């Protein structure tokens, strides 16, 4: 029997030389150009009711390189160019399966700057990574070690809006194994005043990372607005300062959510959450900023993939389930429950904290679903076609 391991990406920051930075910037530009050319070709074919697949766009790329106008594509490694065509094929696959919208063109200013290299496009020896057509290895800050004996299958180089350079290596990690089975189960109710309320009664505060840096962010944005529009150095510097503050907020939020989700997965066998449609909730102008700062969707994504890795179960209860209005003691359903009511008393005499009561009801509903598949409304389907109620299956490579 062939042993299989979870593949995970290990992301590190690195500091390129001027020559390496220039080469990577050219690569990013060529990747964006090829993606847009291929998307335009496939869109034109679509209007003619023709299908163009990856093999056809790969042949187009070969022809483009032979033209005088696009001869500069030969100056960078061909591997990232082929990979961006594969990414476009994946985008169309999701579109035809009705899992995503029609692919959009990449913008020079707004799109993520990245390039993906497969094994033929890099060399990794003795913790030294050298990319194709690159002078010397990358100066990587090894903030944590790779798994012993790991050999990356793909390497993705990127630069964020704050100007920081990152490299992500996809490796098999034998350390990711199912945890010993636990008897504990917990319901989790997300909120704004308290980020998480557990069915045990524990409440975890919302750090409000964006609010803590809001004054600095507002000042940097005012300075940016005063700069003359265009590509001037002063405007680029001001834009970079705004991006750095956003990056600081994002990093702290991600770190906090990683710690919370890791704790929940390690301590509980079953975790029950509410299936919220965050993209619709942020349309509320008065709450959009706070909801975005809480990052409920990010929390759920981290929770689900970690549960899949470590053999835990995540159950999402339908968002129309009246978790706040239902008495967790006697089951009585209240007619109304305004948002400003945080503590209420049921007719049976039980006094409830709104959020704790909701978490307990979520737990009960989730366990009912796990046991007999009843008790809540049907769930939306995930991209893989499985119900969100069901236990997530980890992705494993042979």
Instruction: With a cut of 90, say whether residue 398 has pLDDT above it.
Output: no
Half-sphere exposure of 40 (CA within 13 A, CB side): 9
**Across-strand partners of 129?**
124
Neighbours of 40 (CB within 10 A): 11
Are 364 and 320 within 8 A, CB to CB? no
Tokens 């350390």, residue? 175
Are 254 and 298 within 8 A, CB to CB? yes
DSSP 54-115: HHHHHHHHHHHHTSSTTGGGGGS-HHHHHHHHHHHHHHHHHHHTTSS----PPPTTTS-EEE
At 381 the pLDDT is: 38
Neighbours of 134 (CB within 10 A): 22
DSSP 8-state symbol, 149: T
Q: How far apart are CA 205 and CA 5, in angstroms?
A: 35
More confident position, 391 or 19: 19
Are 5 and 173 within 8 A, CB to CB? yes
Q: How far apart are CA 223 and CA 244, in angstroms?
A: 14
CA 70 to each of CA 27, 57, 125, 260: distance values in angstroms, whole numbers, following the listed order: 13, 15, 34, 49
pLDDT digits (tens, 9 = 90+) for 282-305: 888 889 999 999 999 999 999 999
pLDDT digits (tens, 9 = 90+) for 127-148: 899 999 998 999 999 999 999 8
Instruction: Kindly state the average pLDDT of the residues 254-283.
Output: 94
Neighbours of 2 (CB within 10 A): 4
Are 289 and 218 within 8 A, CB to CB? no
pLDDT digits (tens, 9 = 90+) for 168-225: 999 999 888 999 998 899 999 999 999 999 999 999 999 999 999 999 999 999 999 9
Q: How far apart are CA 152 and CA 22, in angstroms?
A: 24
Residue 243, SS3? helix
At 162 the pLDDT is: 94
CA 345 from chain centre, in angstroms, equals: 40
Q: How many residues does the chain have?
A: 398
Half-sphere exposure of 141 (CA within 13 A, CB side): 9
Instruction: Tell me which residue of 253, 28, 301, 246 sits closest to 156, measured CA to CA.
Output: 28
Average pLDDT over the chain reads: 89
Domain 185-207+253-397 class? Answer: alpha beta
At 392 the pLDDT is: 36
Instruction: With a cut of 70, say whether residue 391 has pLDDT above it.
Output: no
At 379 the pLDDT is: 38
At 4 the pLDDT is: 61
> Any idea which residues carry the catalytic annotation?
189, 274, 355
The boundaries of every CATH 3.30.420 domain in the chain are: 185-207+253-397
- Write down the H helix ranges in 274-315: 278-281, 288-294, 296-309
Neighbours of 192 (CB within 10 A): 13
Instruction: With a cut of 80, say whether residue 364 has pLDDT above it.
Output: yes
Are 398 and 3 within 8 A, CB to CB? no
More confident position, 387 or 82: 82
Neighbours of 203 (CB within 10 A): 18
Confidence of residue 389 (pLDDT cuts 50, 70, 90): very low
Instruction: Tell me which residue of 264, 281, 357 sits closest to 319, measured CA to CA.
Output: 281
At 390 the pLDDT is: 36
């Amino acid at each position: 029997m062939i042993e299989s391991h979870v593949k995970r990406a290990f992301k590190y920051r690195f500091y390129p030389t001027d020559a390496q930075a220039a080469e990577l910037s050219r690569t990013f530009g060529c990747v964006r150009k090829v993606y847009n050319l291929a998307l335009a070709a496939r869109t034109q074919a679509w209007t003619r009711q023709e299908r163009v697949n990856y093999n056809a766009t790969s042949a187009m790329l070969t022809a483009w390189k032979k033209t005088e106008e696009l001869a500069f594509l030969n100056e960078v490694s061909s591997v990232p160019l082929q990979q961006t065509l594969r990414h476009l094929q994946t985008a169309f696959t999701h579109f035809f399966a009705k899992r995503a919208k029609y692919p959009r063109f990449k913008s020079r200013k707004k799109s993520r700057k990245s390039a993906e290299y497969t094994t033929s496009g890099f060399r990794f020896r003795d913790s030294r990574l050298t990319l194709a057509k690159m002078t010397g290895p990358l100066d990587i800050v090894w903030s944590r070690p790779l798994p012993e004996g790991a050999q990356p299958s793909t390497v993705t180089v990127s630069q964020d809006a704050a100007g920081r350079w990152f490299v992500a290596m996809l490796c098999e990690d034998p350390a990711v194994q199912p945890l010993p089975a636990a008897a504990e189960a917990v319901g989790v109710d997300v909120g704004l005043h308290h980020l998480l309320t557990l069915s045990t009664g524990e409440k975890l505060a919302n750090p409000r990372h964006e609010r803590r840096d809001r004054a600095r962010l507002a000042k940097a944005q005012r300075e940016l607005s005063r700069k003359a529009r265009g590509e001037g150095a002063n405007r680029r510097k001001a834009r970079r300062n705004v991006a750095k503050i956003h990056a600081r907020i994002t990093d702290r939020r991600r770190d906090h959510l990683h710690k919370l989700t890791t704790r929940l997965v390690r301590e509980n066998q079953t975790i029950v959450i509410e299936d919220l449609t965050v993209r619709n909730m942020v349309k509320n102008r008065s709450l959009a900023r706070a909801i975005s700062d809480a990052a409920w969707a990010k929390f759920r994504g981290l929770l689900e993939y970690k549960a899949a890795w470590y053999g835990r179960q995540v159950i999402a209860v339908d968002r129309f389930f009246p978790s706040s209005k239902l008495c967790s003691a006697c089951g009585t359903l209240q007619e109304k429950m305004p948002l400003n009511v945080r503590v209420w008393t049921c007719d049976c005499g039980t006094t409830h904290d709104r959020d704790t009561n909701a978490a307990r009801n979520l737990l009960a509903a989730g366990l009912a679903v796990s046991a007999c598949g009843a008790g809540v409304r049907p769930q939306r389907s995930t991209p893989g076609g499985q119900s969100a109620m069901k236990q997530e299956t980890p992705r494993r490579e042979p």
